[in-house]
Each structure stands twice: as structure tokens, then as C-alpha cells.
Amino acid sequence: MFPKGPRFPAPKPSDVPGPNAYTIPQESALDNYKRGAFLEKTDRFTKDKQPIDATKPPSTTSDNTKQKSQPDMERYRILQKKVEDLEKVHLEGKKTHQVELERLRQELAASQKASAEQAERLEKQKKQNAVLEARIQELKKASTTDQSELKDLRHKLRVFELERDKASSKHSEILELKKTLATLEAKRKEDLKERDRRVADLERQLQTEKRKRESLETSAQDSTRALEDELNAKRTAVADMEKCLEQALEDSRQARAALHDIQDHASDREDALVEQLEQHRRLLNTVAEQYGALASQSVSLSKYNALQRDHHASQLRQLRLERKLANAEGQVVELAHLIRHIKEQNLHLSKHLTIASEEISFLASQDQSALPPPGIEDWSSSLLDDIRSDLHENKMKLLESTQTTDSLVSTYYELKSSDLHFAASAILQQYTDVQALAEQRSSDLTSALASHEAIATRLESIQKEKAEFEEKMKEATATSDDLRASLAVLETQLAEAQDKIDRSESQHAAVLKKERDAVARLTSTVQKTRIAEDALRAEIERLTAELTEAERFQEAYYSLSEEVGALITRNQLAEEEAEKISKFNAEILGHHNPAQRIMYVDRIRRELAEAKHKIAQLTREHENVLAHNEDLQHEIDMYKSVRVPQENKPRTAKTRVGRPPLVNLGNSLNIDTRSSHATSVAFSKPHFEPLLEYREGDMTTDELIDEYAFELTIMATPPPDRVRKPQTTPVLVKAYLVAYNVASTLGWAYILVLTLIHLFNLDGASDTIPSPHGHTASSVLSRFVSSLSLPKALRFTTTSSFESRLPPALQPVYRRSTTAYSRVGPQTAFVQSFAILEVVHVLLGWVRSPLQTTAMQVSSRLFLVWGVVEQFPEVRSNPLFSSMVFAWSLTEVIRYSFYAFNLVGKNPYVLLYLRYTTFYILYPLGASSEAFLIYATLPKSSPIPGWLSWLQGMWKPADYIRATLFGIWWPGLYIMYTYMIVQRRKVLGQGPKTLKTN
């Protein structure tokens, strides 16, 4: 509708300068040499100068034209932008209209084709149903005929049995009748087998059923005729064999009776012997057990009672002696205290005596001449006598106490020796009693063994007799088993024939049910197609309504174009008026003499205005050229790319042709349509259908077909996030990456299953694995926590009894976690070592992942596997190794399976949800286990060098490196945890996105 090129004729550049064109900047010093006395005194060229009299006509007209020209230009620009927007909307609507028409056409053809196929299938199903019903009727008739034949055969069998009973009543005909019955039964078995085979053939091949039935009837008639002939022939010979038959019957009856008696007697005797043997065995076992128990534990009752009484008496004596000994010991202690007290008194008195003697000698030496006072000698002598008497009494008391202690000690030792002598005599008496009892038990044991040997010999003879009776029983029961087997074979054949008939009926019923279901599905699909046709009719009606609504916008567009033309004419008039006003202004400012400066200034102003206008045009053309070049480059890039968004389709130099709706579509749906129109869901702007008229630059039919095919190829690809050259992965590389991710998933799944089996002892062998000696998790945690200043409420974690504080249900799991390395340690190292290939994938460019992040992740895992667990044996028995392996395996199973599905073009929401949800638990569990395993390898001494650390073991550079890694691990966990939370919000919070594949 809109050919490319300018919609309106380009306006001619005006020679009249625009408004404010005569204003020269005050800062310009180009025309300073032109200024004279007259010009310097006037300020006519100032920008902000206002007219003196606002009522003058020239000034008012210039202001009005200025005020009118600016809104007109703005309105013109706005209208031109609206026209361009409408043109874009129209082109986009035309494209979507063509695409929607083609899609509706394809859907209509597909629905018509499906309905035709369903009608054909329905007819075929009806025919098959008729054929199957006919076959079912034939099979029912065949089954009724078979049942009638079976009834006839049963009737004949009963007749034969009656005849056999009659013949058995006659003693002379019994033997011959048996032979004839045997032949008849054999023939009947053959007939039944032949009939069963023919029945099976009838089930497999329905067409030959009548022939086989007729052959069965003829064979049955022949067999009955032959049997009747044989019976008539044999009846004549029955009379000769009556006597022999009676004799044989009597012998057989006697033999059977004797056999039954022997069997009953043998069975009863066998049962009795077996019971006796079992009783003897039980008795012998109980005797041996009781004898062993008596020989090892018990004695006779009288001796036991005597020993018990002696024991009680000895206990009483022991208690009395202990009480006496305790009293004696208490007395000895009191005597010792008394002796010590007496000794202390004697020492004290001896000291007083020495002091007194010294005083006496001193007083005597002081004055030999001086006479003692009267009575001093008597006093000193009496004092000495008292002291001597006290000393003598003390010595006597001391001797008495020592004598009493010696007597008490002698009595204690006498009592002790008597007790020991009594105990020794009692033990000797018990020893002699036990020895006599053992000799008696040994004699009893020899007699029991002799009786056991006799019982064993008797048992062997009984077993031999039992074997003989069993052989006889087998020979006797063989004949009865043969007769029963023949009867069971006949019954099973009849049951099989009945089962085959029932099976065929069930199969036909199932086939009939399937056909009915197929008919129901076909009817439902026909109803769905009708509903789809109704929906298509409603859609076409809606499109026609929208087309009528779009005609209003077309009318508005035409009115806008007319208004734009009027604005253009008004702009031309405004420019002419501005030129007139500029000429009038020039006449006001100066004279008509061209030699004057005012005319020169006016000419310069005109030239400046023209130069500005040309510069504006050139800049606009330059911008248009740049924009056109960008559009061309963008179109070339989109032609190079396969994935082009629908809103950025390349626009060719050819205009799409509007076409009326297809008449066939409307006629097929019985709808009168004047035009069709499709709306795109992606656009919310109203659009309208162009008029169907030919214009210059429209496309031919061949060009339309080529352009439509190109648009279909572009629309078939989903739009990317941004237009760029696509990067496709080679098929072999993609297959290798899928295989790598699947193999990694299987490896980590094997480790996860093996870990769970070991922790919960699912195979029953986890408790038998020995635990290597080393530091446990409780010691590591206690050593870490003990280095911190914790409050008293939290100091329970520093104890070594971590296992005892766990619930009873978790204690076995905790113990098994210390031996997990023996089950999954080498497998984990093997599977984790293959993760080096991820770094190789990034280096080769097969995977779009940052090299540094991938290398750090893989190297940290390898450091833990080979640098920590492999080098330090105490880490292998740490329960944190089990938690680390569990977190690793579960995370990697989800991650690798997610990558594998993403590579093959699938993205299950379950894996996506688990990928961005399980890290809430698994990341802290795995990272904390890794960190504390590193901490467990550090020395127990202080990291600060000193004499104490020198005694306990100095830290090495590798220890400092591991300690640094332990400190770095926690902020790394925080960064990774928050990063995953942000990624989860992006992925699960804003719908599905294109995800990175590994």
C-alpha cells in the first residue's frame, strides 16, 4: 500500500531567513571593523530588545507568525511520526495476516485429512466387527457341537461302565471283560487325543472346523461298531474261562487281603519303631545332657544339705570371729593410744625432773655456805619420791598393756589358724566326695553307651526291614498309580479342552471390547474436529469484526493525511509572510541605497541563514545515511543468522500485496466473508487492512511465493535473546558430552547407593567392617570448639562422648559412618578424578564455562580426595567423610543428569527445581564437612612457634597452607550460597530461561 520513497514532495529551500536569523552573537568580533558612529549608538540587533509600541501592525504580525509556525512544525513532526508508526503497524499486521492465513489453511487441511482417515477407520472397524461377530457365532456353534459330543461320549462311558458292572457280576466273564475294557479304554484314549488335536486345529483354523468334526464323528461311529463286533466275538469265549477266572479272582482277593494286612502291619510296625527310635534318641540325649550337667554342676542331696549346713555354720563362725577380731583390733588401737599417752606423760615428767634437778644443782651451787631454809629438803625428797612412784606406776601400766596386746595378738592368730585348718579339712572332704561321684557317673556313662550301641544295632535291623517293606509297598502302589494316572490324563484332557474354549471366548470378547473402544475414540475425535471447526468459524467472525473496526483507523489515517497537506500549505504561506516581514524590516532599518552598511548586514544575515539551513539539511542527510547503513548492516547480519526474532524481520525492497480472503475456506465453513484478517498476540496496537489496489513497486506472484517461504523459515526458529551469529556444537562433540554426563551420573549414583547401603546396613555387612584407628569427628569438633571461649551452656560439645549424646537410633549410623571409607573411598577417588575432563572441555571450547571457576572447583575436590583423605589415615575414620561423600554424590547426580537432559533438548522441571533447591542443605553439609576434614589434619600444637609447640610438634608450611584453606572455606561457602540463591530467583522466579549446558 505504501511504496518506499518520500510520501510528500520535499519542500523547496526558502531564500527568506527564518526567525531570529538576523541576530548575531554579541561575543563575535568578526564585524568590529564595520561599526561606525551610527551603528554603535543603536542597539537594534540585541536579542532581548522589546518593541516600543505593541500596537504597531508590523511587530504584531511578526510575533503571530512566529507563534503559529512553531506549533505547526511540532504538529507536523508528530503527525509524520504517527504516519510512520501506522505504516509499521500495517506492515507487521500484513505479515501476521499472511502467516495466520497459511496456518489456518494447514490446520483445516490437517483436520479434513484426519476426519477422512477416521471415517475410513470407522468403516474398517465396522467391517471387522461384522466379521468377528460371524466368527464368534461359528465358534459358539462349534462349542455347542463339542459339548454335545462330550455328552455322548460320557453317556457311552457310563454305558460301558454299566456293562462292566454287569460283567463283573458274572464270575465267568470278568477276565475277558477286563481285557475288552482295557482295549476300549485304550481306543477311547486314542480317540480323545485325536479329538483334542482336532479341537486345537479347529481353534487355529476356523475354516477347516466342519471337516475335522465330520472326521471325528465318522471315527467315533467306526470305533463303536468295532467295539460292538469285538464284544459279540468275545462273549462266546467267556464261558470257557469262567472257572479259570473264579480261581484267579479268589487268588487275587487272597493276595490283596494278605498284601493289605502286611502293608498295615508293616506301616504300624514302622511307625511304632520310628516312634520308639525317636523316644530312645530323645531319652539318650536327655540322659547325656543331664549326666553332663550333674557331673559338672551338681552333687547328691545329702551331701549338698550337709555342705549347706556346714557352710552356714562356717559363715556364722566367720561372722563371730570377725566380730571378735574387730573388738580386739579396737582394743589394740585403744591400748596403742593409751601407751602413746603414757609415754608422752613420762616424757613430760622426765623433763620436769631434769628441770627440777637443774634448779636444785643451781641453787646448791649458788650458795654453799648458806643454809637451806627449813623444810626445803623434806619438800624436795617428798617430791622426788612422788615422781619415782608415778614413774613406777606408769612403767607397770605400760607392761600390763604390752602384755594384754601380746595376748590378744596370740589369740587372734590362734583363731585364724583354726579357721584355716577347718576350711582346708572341709575342702578335702568335698574333693573326696566329688571324686567318688565322678567315678560313679563314669560307670553310669559306660553302661549308657553300651545300651546306646545295642539300640543302634537294633535300629539298623529295623531300618533294613523298613526298606524291604517300602520296596513291597512301591511294587503294590505302582499298579494303582498307573490306573489313577490314566484316569487323571482323561480328566486333564477334558479340562484342557474346556479351558481352550473359554480362552477363545475371552479373547473374542477382548477383541470386541477393543473395537468398541476404538469406535468411542473415533466418535470423540469427530466431536473434537467439529468443535475445532466451530472455533475456527468464531475466529473468522472475530477477525471480520476487527476488520470493520480497523476501517475506522483507515479513515482516521486519511483524515490525518489531509490535515498534513493543509499544514504544509499553511507552512508555505507562513514562510512567504516571513519573507515579506523581513523585507519590511529591512526597509525600516535603512535606506534603499545598496552602498549603505545596513544592506550589507542584511545580505550577510541572509547568507548566514542559507548556510545554517544547508548545514541542517546536510546533518539530517548524514544522520539518514548512517541510519540507513545501520539498517543495512543489521539486515545483512539477520540474513546470515538463522534465528531471527519476529519483530526484527528483514524488510526487502518489495512491498507486500494485500489479498482478499480465500473463498474456498469460507465456502467450506459455510460463512460469507468479505475479507479476513489475523491479529497477532504479540502486538497490542490496532491495525487495519489495506485497500486492494495495485501500485507501483508491488510484488508479482512468484516473488510473493519466494518471500513467503523465506518468512516461514525465519518464523520456524525461536527468537534468541539478541541477534548474533549462532554457535552450533558438532554432533560428535554433543554425543560425547551427553555420554560423559550420563557416565558421571551413573558413577555418582553408584557411590550414593553404596553409601546409603553402608550407613543403614541394608546388606547386613556394614557392621563387620573394621574401623581404622584415628581421630574421630567428636575429637576434631571438641578440639576445634575447645580453642574457643564458649559459654557454659554450650560446653557440652567439647566432651568426647559425642556418640553417647546422640539418639539411640542414630548411634549405629554414626558408628558405621566411621568405616565408610572402606566401602566408597577408592570409588570416590576414581570417579572424582575423571572431573579433570571438565577443564579440558572448557579449554577446547566445547563448554561455555569460565575456566578459572571450573579449575578451582575441580582442584578443590581433587585436593580433598588425594591431598587430605589419601595422605592422612585419621581422616578416613572420620564420620564427616561420609557426610561429604553423601553431599557430593547427591549434588553431582542432579547436576550431571540436568546437563545431559539439557544437551538433548529437554529440560524437566523436576531436575530444574532440584538443581536450584537442594543446595540449601547440601552446600552447607558438604562445605562444612570438607572444612572440618582439613581441620582434622592440622597438628595439635599451637600454630605460634614456642617451646610448647616445639615439644608437641612444630607446624610445617603445608600445615599453614591447610589452615589458610580452612579459613578461606567459610567466606567461599557464603559467596557460593548467596550466588545460588540469586540464581534460583532468576531461574525459578521469572520462568524458564536458556541455561548453560556442560
Structural contact between residues 701 and 101, judged by C-beta atoms closer than 8 angstroms = no
DSSP state at residue 797: G
- Give the relative orientation of helices 821-833 and 879-903 as an angle to the nearest 10 degrees: 40
Instruction: Tell me which H or E stretch contains 478.
Output: helix 376-589
DSSP state at residue 521: H
* DSSP string for residues in 751-778: HHHHHHHHHHTSSS-STTSPPPPS--HH
Contacts of 698 (CB under 8 A, 6+ apart): 654, 655, 657
Which alpha helices (H) appear in 679-730, and where do they start and end? 701-715
Residue found under cell 480472503: 661
Name the grid cell of 612.
545554517
Q: What are phi and psi of 698, to 5 degrees?
A: -70, 160
Name the grid cell of 380.
624436795
Among residues 973, 873, 858, the alpha carbon closest in space to that of 926 is found at 973
Name the grid cell of 750.
553408584
Structural contact between residues 497 and 199, judged by C-beta atoms closer than 8 angstroms = yes
Q: How far apart are CA 878 and CA 772, in angstroms?
A: 10
Q: How many helices (H) and strands (E) does the chain have?
A: 22, 0
Q: How far apart are CA 102 and CA 315, in angstroms?
A: 117
Among residues 555, 557, 540, 558, the alpha carbon closest in space to that of 679 is found at 540
Which alpha helices (H) appear in 937-997, and where do they start and end? 947-952, 957-989
Q: Is 698 helix (H, G, I), strand (E, B) or coil?
A: strand
Name the grid cell of 146.
463339542
Residue 434 corresponds to which amino acid?
V
Residue found under cell 573326696: 432
Q: What are phi and psi of 655, to 5 degrees?
A: -95, 135
Q: How far apart are CA 347 and CA 339, in angstroms?
A: 12
Q: How far apart are CA 3 and CA 527, in angstroms?
A: 47
Paired strand residues for 655: 698
Side-chain half-sphere of 222: how many Cα atoms within 13 Å? Answer: 8
Largest CA distance in the chain: 188
Q: Is 931 helix (H, G, I), strand (E, B) or coil?
A: helix
Q: How far apart are CA 37 and CA 511, in angstroms?
A: 121
Q: How far apart are CA 234 and CA 226, in angstroms?
A: 12
Name the grid cell of 260.
493289605
Among residues 639, 649, 652, 631, the alpha carbon closest in space to that of 697 is found at 652
Q: How far apart are CA 461 and CA 467, in angstroms?
A: 10
Q: How far is CA 597 from the centre of its chain?
A: 95
Q: Is 596 helix (H, G, I), strand (E, B) or coil?
A: coil
Distances (CA, A) of 511 to 134, 283, 345, 499, 601: 13, 70, 129, 18, 108
Structural contact between residues 787 and 745, judged by C-beta atoms closer than 8 angstroms = no
Length of the chain: 998
Residues forming the active site: 923, 930
Q: How far apart are CA 852 and CA 37, in angstroms?
A: 80
Among residues 498, 542, 424, 474, the alpha carbon closest in space to that of 199 is found at 498
Among residues 965, 778, 963, the alpha carbon closest in space to that of 879 is found at 778
